[in-house]
Amino acid sequence: MLKEGTPAPDFTLPDQNGDPRSLADYRGQKVILYFYPKDMTSGCTKQACSFAELYPQFRERGAVVLGVSRDSVASHKQFEEKYGLPFPLLSDPELTVIQTYGAWQEKMNFGKKTMGVVRTTYLIDEDGLIVRAMSKVKAAENPGQMLGALAVDAAGNE
């Protein structure tokens, strides 16, 4: 996992429409960058829908939301359309960004150790620095936590 106070590594990945998105495209805005295991699963759907529900509040605070998983562009498109998600979903089937950001970890699955995406979320400031890093977050609680982190960051930086 990357440390708070360090620069967020830049990357370029395709979104649900196949358009390339780079972290650098969002310089000057706060970015909620969240890594999740799989489209259409219950926990990931709860997390995405909670981010969608709070999205106007994220935008009011000058933040964008970017979701990243191993799923394909086509899978992301279906996920976006089914749940009306208003933010980009980035496809990383090669695990390049997922590994760079420390979200690919050993985890227990039905009593067996496997490698997989651990739900991980970063708050990146306007200058590209990581101001909050959270691992093994709870899907339903994470969007609210990040909204709270934005409020704390705003209070601390004003």
In a domain, 158, yes or no: no
The rounded distance, in Å, linking the Cα atoms of 149 and 131 is 9
In a domain, 105, yes or no: yes
The rounded distance, in Å, linking the Cα atoms of 14 and 42 is 24
Give the predicted TM-score (pTM) of the model. Answer: 0.94
**Average pLDDT for consecutive 10-residue bins of the chain (158 residues)?**
96 98 97 97 95 96 97 98 98 97 89 92 97 93 93 62
CATH of the domain at 45: 3.40.30.10
* Number of domains within the chain: 1
In a domain, 135, yes or no: yes
Instruction: Look at residue 57 in the predicted model and tell me its pLDDT.
Output: 96
In a domain, 100, yes or no: yes
In a domain, 1, yes or no: no
| 44 catalytic per annotation | yes
In a domain, 2, yes or no: no
Given the residues 23, 31, 33, 44, the one annotated as active site: 44
Supply the range of the domain harboring residue 82: 12-152
In a domain, 49, yes or no: yes
In a domain, 3, yes or no: no
Instruction: Look at residue 158 in the predicted model and tell me its pLDDT.
Output: 43
Instruction: Look at residue 156 in the predicted model and tell me its pLDDT.
Output: 56
Q: Is 147:50 a contact under the CB 8 Å cutoff?
A: no
What's the Cα-to-Cα distance from 27 to each of 8, 63, 68, 127, 138, rounded to whole Å?
Answer: 11, 11, 18, 6, 28
